[in-house]
């Protein structure tokens, strides 16, 4: 049934952690989320214990701009390595939580980069108070979101979004829509102040249940001029648009780490860790996971350098493709390692594997690899 009520923030986060403490804060939040993982494997509820831990650790506030008390995590180049470690940790604690947090960070990257000072200040204050942000772009062509101009700079929305992670839970969403001239314009929708019914039940996938990636109907929503975010075309501006893929890859890698950990515990319980074949599999998994971490470090290094937007996007496409391969390799080896006995619910291997398999399906994977190949070819011919 469609929902119009959005859970109000209930915790009092007391400021973002220092930049040097971000990873430790993420590890603590991830441990809380992992401890509650079995009970939050449901399409009915978002992963509240993990979300509460993100808030109380100051991690909802951390991506806000430093001028407004945040750390600029996700936006400032010298924090990219820490950002990826944080996202990896949260993904380790739970992939649905990681998906929600990655959307939150993505929203702040867009607000910090394209928003007015007033929008940045308000967003920072909202995050400090516990609001969860998201970015909802995916739509079905027949009901794509359109934005109509109204007097006073206001805008009237028509259409709906699907795959909206945190539908019914996110209270601030960056929602791009088409202007009458066909240009794409971002809006920042205060979901607790407008009537945009969320339908979390639209989300029937077996994996990533608690991400509640449902449908939200924006038909008839009227936005103030202050909700218009950035300029037409900003949403897909490079290198941010493609470069952002490294953030979801970091969450995916955290999921693969959790899967490997769950498999190792399963083998230990069955006293099967001494078998040489299992040890070889675990060796291959260890190599794969380290490969993923090195790609994240490489992406952070490049983004912090004077590399061109083209170099950054090509590297991001390689990194996400490499990490997808890492995760698929880990999934296959873990399945073989634990066998059917390890894949029967309520096994953590089954749960994390089910989430990871779906969360790996992020947009346009073939296009990403093709773009990486094109960039490689043009370097060879330069």
Ligand X SMILES: Cc1cc2nc3c(=O)[nH]c(=O)nc-3n(C[C@H](O)[C@H](O)[C@H](O)COP(=O)(O)OP(=O)(O)OC[C@H]3O[C@@H](n4cnc5c(N)ncnc54)[C@H](O)[C@@H]3O)c2cc1C
Which residue in 263, 306, 302 sits closest to 286, CA to CA? 263
Residue 366 interacts with ligand X (CB under 6 A): yes or no: yes
Cα distance between residue 287 and residue 322, in whole Å: 13
Site string for ligand X, 304-343 (x = CB under 6 A): ----------------------------------------
* Contact (CB, 8 A) for 255 and 331: no
CB of 66 to ligand X, least distance (A): 26
Cα distance between residue 189 and residue 222, in whole Å: 10
* Count of residues of this chain found to bind ligand X when the rule CB under 6 A is applied: 21
Name the CA radius of gyration of the chain, rounded.
Answer: 21
Cα distance between residue 148 and residue 342, in whole Å: 53
Q: Tell me which residues in 152-171 interact with ligand X (CB under 6 A).
A: 163-165
Cα distance between residue 347 and residue 340, in whole Å: 11
Residue 213 interacts with ligand X (CB under 6 A): yes or no: yes
CB of 201 to ligand X, least distance (A): 15
Which residue in 122, 10, 126, 26 sits closest to 73, CA to CA? 26
Q: Kindly tell me which residue out of 134, 190, 214, 239 binds ligand X, with binding defined by CB under 6 A.
A: 134
CB of 366 to ligand X, least distance (A): 4
Please name every residue paired with 215 in a beta bridge, in sequence order, or none if there are none. Answer: 199
Which residue in 159, 85, 75, 132 sits closest to 109, CA to CA? 75
Select from 24-32, 118-126, 130-138, 285-293 the region that touches ligand X (CB under 6 A): 130-138
Residue 22 interacts with ligand X (CB under 6 A): yes or no: no
Nearer to ligand X, 113 or 362 (CB): 362
CB of 252 to ligand X, least distance (A): 11
> How distant is the alpha carbon of residue 128 from its chain centre?
19
CB of 249 to ligand X, least distance (A): 13
Nearer to ligand X, 71 or 99 (CB): 99
Which residue in 134, 324, 314 sits closest to 239, CA to CA? 314
Nearer to ligand X, 58 or 254 (CB): 254
Cα distance between residue 186 and residue 161, in whole Å: 13
Residue 236 interacts with ligand X (CB under 6 A): yes or no: no
Residue 358 interacts with ligand X (CB under 6 A): yes or no: yes
Which residue in 128, 145, 164 sits closest to 54, CA to CA? 128
CB of 320 to ligand X, least distance (A): 12
Phi/psi at 94 (nearest 5 deg)?
165, 125
Q: Kindly tell me which residue out of 361, 374, 376, 378 binds ligand X, with binding defined by CB under 6 A.
A: 361
CB of 304 to ligand X, least distance (A): 26
CB of 139 to ligand X, least distance (A): 8
Select from 17-25, 39-47, 122-130, 134-142 the region that touches ligand X (CB under 6 A): 134-142
* Contact (CB, 8 A) for 45 and 210: yes
Angle at 248 between CA 85 and CA 3, to 5 degrees: 115
Nearer to ligand X, 69 or 365 (CB): 365
What does the binding site for ligand X look like in residue numbers (CB under 6 A)?
99, 103, 134-138, 163-165, 208, 211, 213, 358-359, 361-366
């Amino acid at each position: 049934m469609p929902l119009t009520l959005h859970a109000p923030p209930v915790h009092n986060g007391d400021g973002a952690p220092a930049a040097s403490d971000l990873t430790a804060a993420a590890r603590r939040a991830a441990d809380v989320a992992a401890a509650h993982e079995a009970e939050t494997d449901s399409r009915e509820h978002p992963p509240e214990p993990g979300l509460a831990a993100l808030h109380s650790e100051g991690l909802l506030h951390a991506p806000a701009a430093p001028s407004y008390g945040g750390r600029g995590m996700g936006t400032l180049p010298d924090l990219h390595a820490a950002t990826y470690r944080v996202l990896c940790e949260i993904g380790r604690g739970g992939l649905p939580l990681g998906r929600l947090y990655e959307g939150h960070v993505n929203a702040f990257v867009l607000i910090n980069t394209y928003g007015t000072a007033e929008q940045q200040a308000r967003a920072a204050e909202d995050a400090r108070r516990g609001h969860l942000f998201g970015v909802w772009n995916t739509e079905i062509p027949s009901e794509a979101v359109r934005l109509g101009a109204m007097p006073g700079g206001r805008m009237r929305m028509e259409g709906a979004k699907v795959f909206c992670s945190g539908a019914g839970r996110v209270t601030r969403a960056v929602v791009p829509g088409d202007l009458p001239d066909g240009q794409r314009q971002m809006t920042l929708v205060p979901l607790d102040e407008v009537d945009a019914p969320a339908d979390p039940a639209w989300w029937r996938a077996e994996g990533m249940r608690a991400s509640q990636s449902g449908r939200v109907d924006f038909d008839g929503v009227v936005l103030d001029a202050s909700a218009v975010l950035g300029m037409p075309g900003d949403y897909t501006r490079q290198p941010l648009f493609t470069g952002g893929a490294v953030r979801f890859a970091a969450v995916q890698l955290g999921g693969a780490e959790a899967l490997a950990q769950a498999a190792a515990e399963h083998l230990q319980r069955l006293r099967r860790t001494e078998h040489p074949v299992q040890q070889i599999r675990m060796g291959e998994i260890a190599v794969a996971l380290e490969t993923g971490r090195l790609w994240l470090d490489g992406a952070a290094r490049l983004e912090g350098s004077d590399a061109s937007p083209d170099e950054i996007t090509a590297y991001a496409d390689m990194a996400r493709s490499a990490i997808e391969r890492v995760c698929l390799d880990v999934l296959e080896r873990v399945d073989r390692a634990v066998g059917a006995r390890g894949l029967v619910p309520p096994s953590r291997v089954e749960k994390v594997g089910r989430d990871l398999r779906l969360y790996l399906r992020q947009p346009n994977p073939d296009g990403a690899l093709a773009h990486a190949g094109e960039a490689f070819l043009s370097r060879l011919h330069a």
